[in-house]
Amino acid sequence: MSRNSLIRINSKALISNLNIVKKYAPQSKIWCVIKANAYGHTMRAALKGLKNTSGFAVSEIDEAIFLRENGWNGPILLISGFFKISDLTELYQYKLTTVIHSRWQIEMLKKYNCPNTIEIYLKLNSGMNRLGFDKNNFIYAWNELYQSKKVSNLTLMSHFSFSYSKRSVHQQVKIINEVSNKINKAPQCLANSTAILLHPETHKDWIRPGIILYGVLPFENNFMNQKYGFEPVMTLESKLVAIQHINSNAYVGYGKNYYSKSSDTIGIISCGYADGYPYNIHSSGTPILVDGVRTQIIGSVCMDMLMVDLNPCPKVKIGSTVELWGKNIKINDIAKSAKTTSYELMCKINPKVLVKIE
């Protein structure tokens, strides 16, 4: 069976989504977060659709090198920081800004023979409790780096753990302000996607939009009715490769997970968990679009196939286009069915799946 799974990337949607972000935080510079291969959308698509950003934030030096080798001369933030001496060599070679979140990184920088100065984002643990210095150690580290001849600019960076909660954000901002007042109110970079939309007081000098650039609201915001205007950038599609007419009182697929009480028409789609579609979705009720008609998946997702109910769309034929998520089938609905997040779904697409950047 030739593979029909395909990812379409809408570059115009990337441009539009970035412009919406700018409207929400017109006074802030923007780090477009493109870690994990631009959340599965590819670095090449990010360069094409997000080139009007102030800078790019990546998690790996290889991603930064790709940007430089493909013409990006603007700021690049290494959002996870460096881990070994060879990383520092490349930081200077490719003129990167780096996050520092731990004491051992400062000690490594002190020992390194720096060819010139470097810009640093010092991470404050204001409540996420993942990376960063607590408020007392942060002030000590800040003063040490501020006095270092190896550092050109310092920015306070923090991350919100529960950013759709006004109370939680307020608690973290209180700690951030307490620290900021002791370091002469230095430049700050705080807001992630949710904070950009809900908490304008967190916008500060730089913001860090991630998932909203790709046209998806953060998972916890599904309950909100407000329309932000973001467009889905990624469409996962495939083709209908077989049609089966089954009698009543018949099972479909592995494990007898679907039982047909009446005569049914089902379709076979050449896409499965090997392509990146989630295996553990609900056995029925998960939406899918077949030739423009909304229907549902039935039975178990297979390695490279899945089954759909064709009763609502009797006019389909072999070769009909299927949208598994995209403009019409929201990826958050698929994530909910699979008890996961849209972040994971986008990042777990098999690299062998063809990508078309449009």
User: In 161-180, which positions are buried (b, 16+ CB within 10 angstroms) versus exposed (e)?
Assistant: eebbeeeebebbbebbeebb
If you compute the radius of gyration of the chain from its CA atoms, what whole number of angstroms results?
Answer: 24
Q: Judge whether 130 is annotated as a binding position.
A: yes
Q: Cα separation of 143 and 353, whole Å?
A: 49
Whether 188 and 157 have beta carbons less than 8 Å apart is answered as yes
Calculate the CA dihedral of residues 238, 239, 243, 249 and round it to 10 degrees.
10
Q: Encoding tokens for residue 280?
A: 């553990």
Q: Cα separation of 185 and 165, whole Å?
A: 25
In one-letter notation, the amino acid at residue 295 is T
**Residue 229 backbone phi and psi in degrees, to 5:** 95, 0
Element (H, E) at 344: helix 342-347
| Closest by CA position to 198, among listed 246, 230, 162, 239 | 162
Q: Judge whether 305 is annotated as a binding position.
A: no
Whether 296 and 285 have beta carbons less than 8 Å apart is answered as yes
Q: Which residues are catalytic?
A: 35, 254
In one-letter notation, the amino acid at residue 204 is K
Binding residues for substrate: 130, 303
